């Protein structure tokens, strides 16, 4: 894949599709050439789960992945600062958007047997969380009875350990804002929402992280990788 991705023109998506009734519950679908059925990458933007950032930040990555042969489903979701954002709405939106692929697969010739997630920063957290949803207890508000089976996940500088992110006070306490409390006060939320506490996820995971990152320190992915391997998961860092 070319290294000039961020400097490319941002072409419009093939379709913008609502997966729920809220104005922020939509995704942008891009389709590769050929008839398909197409493998799909669910693309999840970051921004410490805050409303100041949107799916436009991952448009170039989506375009590049589509050029490489995969359909991309670049999703928007309610975030901190949006009505209904944070716990549990942010998680529920990402789950609903991912599962909505089942509704549009026939129309766009998508291969539901070849779906993976990819996210950056907070999106990296949500990308790994998405593939582990089958491990969430039924008592949790972010539980899904039959989540779409995903083949793998890619985390780009992901906040994949929420407890450690809270300890480090990343982005002025963004984790506590997202979860509506500290790990000590709402441990059940962290158990259902932090990928490191959901291991093993049962699918291959790739973590890419710059060692000089001062927004989400490399330590976060390094700790997660060690825990994933110890749990028996297939992971690369």
pLDDT at residue 184 greater than cutoff 80: yes
| 87-141 residue pLDDT tens | 999 999 999 999 999 999 999 999 999 999 999 999 999 999 999 999 999 999 9
Burial class (CB in 10 A: 0-12, 13-18, 19+), 64: middle
pLDDT of residue 8: 60
Task: Region of 81 please: left (phi>0), alpha (psi -120 to 50) or beta.
Answer: left
DSSP string, the chain: --S-GGGS--PPPSEEEESSSSTT-EEEEE--SSS-PEEEEEEE--STTBTT--GGGGHHHHHHHHHTT-EEEEE----BTSTT-STTHHHHHHHHHHHTHHHHHHHHTEEEEEEEEEEETHHHHHHHHHHTGGGS-TTSTT--SSPPP--EEEEES----HHHHHHTTTTTTHHHHHHTS-TTT-HHHHHHH-HHHH---SS-EEEE--TT-SSS-HHHHHHHHHHHHHHT--EE-
Stated pTM of the model? 0.95
* Predicted confidence (pLDDT) at residue 2 exceeds the cutoff of 90: no
pLDDT exceeds cutoff 90 at 9? no
The pLDDT, as a whole number, for residue 6 is 55
Q: What is the pLDDT of residue 11?
A: 76
Residues 151-179: what's their mean pLDDT?
97
Q: What is the pLDDT of residues 27-80, one digit of tens each?
A: 999 999 999 999 999 999 999 999 999 999 999 999 999 999 999 999 999 999
What percentage of the chain exceeds 70 in pLDDT?
96
Q: What angle do CA 118, 156, 85 make, to 5 degrees?
A: 70
| pLDDT at res. 1 | 45
- 228: nearest Cα among 194, 202, 189: 202
pLDDT band at 3 (very low <50, low <70, confident <90, very high): low
């Amino acid at each position: 894949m070319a290294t000039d991705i961020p400097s490319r023109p941002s072409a419009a998506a093939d379709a913008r599709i609502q997966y729920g009734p809220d104005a922020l519950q939509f995704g942008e679908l891009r389709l590769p050439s050929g008839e398909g059925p197409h493998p799909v990458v669910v693309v999840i933007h970051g921004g410490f789960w805050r409303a100041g950032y949107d799916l436009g930040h991952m448009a170039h990555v989506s375009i590049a992945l589509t050029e490489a042969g995969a359909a991309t489903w670049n999703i928007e979701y309610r975030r901190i600062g949006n009505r209904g954002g944070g716990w549990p709405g942010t998680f529920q939106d990402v789950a609903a958007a991912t599962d909505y692929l089942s509704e549009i697969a026939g129309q766009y010739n998508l291969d539901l047997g070849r779906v993976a997630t990819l996210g950056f920063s907070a999106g990296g957290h949500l990308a790994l969380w998405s593939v582990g949803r089958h491990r969430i207890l039924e008592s949790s508000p972010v539980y899904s009875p039959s989540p779409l089976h995903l083949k793998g996940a890619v985390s780009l500088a992901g906040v994949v350990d929420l407890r450690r992110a809270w300890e480090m006070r990343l982005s002025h306490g963004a984790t506590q804002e997202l979860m509506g409390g500290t790990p000590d006060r709402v441990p059940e939320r962290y158990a259902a929402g932090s990928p490191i506490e959901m291991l093993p996820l049962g699918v291959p995971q790739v973590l890419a992280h710059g060692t000089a990152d001062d927004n989400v320190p490399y330590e976060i992915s390094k700790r997660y990788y060690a825990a994933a391997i110890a749990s028996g998961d297939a992971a690369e860092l």
